[in-house]
Chains A and B, each alone.
Chain A
């Protein structure tokens, strides 16, 4: 707790000053979000420099070393080795990389699409455009995300790209619905009407007048969602519909390890813990971002 208090004090030094330090001050009022930020930075750095950080980089590929198999955690192998003698720590570092790629790319793909559709549906509320977009959205939302992603994955060849597509396909409606609600409440505001009277075109009204009003909400949702996307991706590979072995992925590592529980506990527990850490750090970070923008919890 003392450490947390010190982190909180760091924020106070930033209280006076320009925009960036003010943002950081707001962010750091909740020490847990600073913990989340630091954790997330460490995870990202680990993922980027996995080649150099991993003690046994060759473990990430198709590699077998039966002499070292089933080693419990030790100085030589911090997280032990699996049944094929691959170093778990090295595989986790590489697996984190794929998890983050999944999380980032899914959100980069769906956020613009979902937000644009939501803006259009909200702005043209009552027209056929709204009816089409929102009813399609309702259909997607009515099916649980994981089930839909599983179904799509099962239809396609299981690999990274298809898992990414499947999750994106089942995730965009949430953005459409969020933005639709916000837009339809905002479009009767006078500044939007003023833009209409001034003769601004639709793109200007949607993306310059309306959208910036809830960029904070969207950014918060993206950060919080990234954790859930990573978790969903891990779920997919756990049942064998995501990234295929021998490529290390946290989900399929847990699946492999689950066969040897409870004797070889380290094979499943360490990848599972790293999933927990990633999701936790993103959630804490999301809370901090929502503090910056003063967004209510969504």
Chain B
């Protein structure tokens, strides 16, 4: 196993609120290898975006309390080093695509100006900026780049804006691309195109990608390895093939069952209930109130990660004995 590019160790993040702290992230562990495409799935509100924002370092500080944990980039702890240095590293190595292409572009500037700004921030040299912007827009398959440079975001459709966001993320020559649900606001035909585009471009620039998505199809076609997240911690980690073929954790099973299939057997039962309140989350395994195979030990203790096979780990007491 090569040295991990990005490693998150036991990350716990709380948010202040009037009812008391929201205990959102509860010991997140995650590894991203160089050039690897990692997926992150889970219900909404289970802390996927919070994890992404923590990696990017853009959580608003007053409500956020970082309880413990570390984010290591090539062995260096981004949380412990001073702010200036960690910002330098993030600026150099990270780029991010946001959930909502509608608000990811500044409404008062033309696309050209915004691309120009980001290119200027990333590369200190002058000249060829316009040529470079046009080339970037061509790369994301936008028609008539010269005209689009003069347009304001409001004149473009959601898919076009999302492509521009991808183009912006590609300006950065860094190694990690955080894609936080890049497909949410797109319709099905555009989604397919954009995902294909993303896959090609990430392969071309040899970036690692962390992809958050609700669309399991997207995850299946784009990623090498998947983390399943529930209520602020990782419940299962497996190679994409292994997870889709043989999900182990009851939560993953339910999540995959809830997907309609072409074989026409209808949709499975899914999972009853919903994500717990974060003010007072359940003790022990946070999934136990919804779990069909709940045991006594689940109510008392939080399960640690048990490795079932070389590339398949699960945080559930059902698999305690299969530890190797």
| Contacting pair A190 B60 (CB below 8 A) | no
| Contact among B60, B61, B63, B118 for A198, CB-based, below 8 A | B118
CA distance A136 to B103 in the complex (A): 33
| Contacting pair B117 A208 (CB below 8 A) | yes
Question: A115-143 interface mask toward B, CB cutoff 8 Å, 1 = contact, 0 = none?
Answer: 00000000001110000000000000000
CA distance A127 to B43 in the complex (A): 32
| Contacting pair A190 B94 (CB below 8 A) | no
CA distance A208 to B108 in the complex (A): 10
Residues in A240-272 with C-beta less than 8 Å from chain B: none
| Contacting pair B62 A209 (CB below 8 A) | no
CB distance from A26 to the nearest CB of B (A): 16
Residues of A in contact (CB 8 Å), total 21
CB distance from B262 to the nearest CB of A (A): 35
Question: B74-113 interface mask toward A, CB cutoff 8 Å, 1 = contact, 0 = none?
Answer: 0000000000000110111011101110011111110000
Interface residue? B8 (CB, 8 A): no
Interface residue? A155 (CB, 8 A): no
CA distance A194 to B94 in the complex (A): 11
Chain B residues contacting A190 (CB-CB under 8 Å) are 98-100, 103-104
| Contacting pair A196 B121 (CB below 8 A) | no
| Contact among A127, A189, A196 for B103, CB-based, below 8 A | A189
| Contacting pair B90 A197 (CB below 8 A) | yes
Chain B residues contacting A212 (CB-CB under 8 Å) are 106, 108-109
CA distance A7 to B87 in the complex (A): 56
* Given contacts A191-B106, A198-B121, A213-B106, A126 and B98 within 8 Å (CB-CB): no
CB distance from B185 to the nearest CB of A (A): 12
Interface residue? B168 (CB, 8 A): yes
Interface residue? B122 (CB, 8 A): yes
| Contact among B61, B91, B121 for A127, CB-based, below 8 A | B61
| Contact among A189, A193, A199 for B121, CB-based, below 8 A | A199
CB distance from A78 to the nearest CB of B (A): 48
Residues in B161-192 with C-beta less than 8 Å from chain A: 165, 168, 172
| Contacting pair B104 A197 (CB below 8 A) | no
CA distance A144 to B85 in the complex (A): 47
| Contacting pair A191 B122 (CB below 8 A) | no
| Contacting pair B63 A197 (CB below 8 A) | no
| Contacting pair A188 B95 (CB below 8 A) | no
CB distance from A123 to the nearest CB of B (A): 10
Residues in B285-306 with C-beta less than 8 Å from chain A: none
| Contacting pair B62 A188 (CB below 8 A) | no
**A125-B62, A193-B58, A198-B121 given; 17 more Cβ-contact pairs under 8 Å:** A125-B60, A187-B60, A188-B60, A189-B103, A190-B99, A193-B56, A194-B168, A197-B91, A197-B95, A198-B122, A199-B91, A199-B92, A200-B117, A200-B121, A204-B117, A209-B106, A213-B106
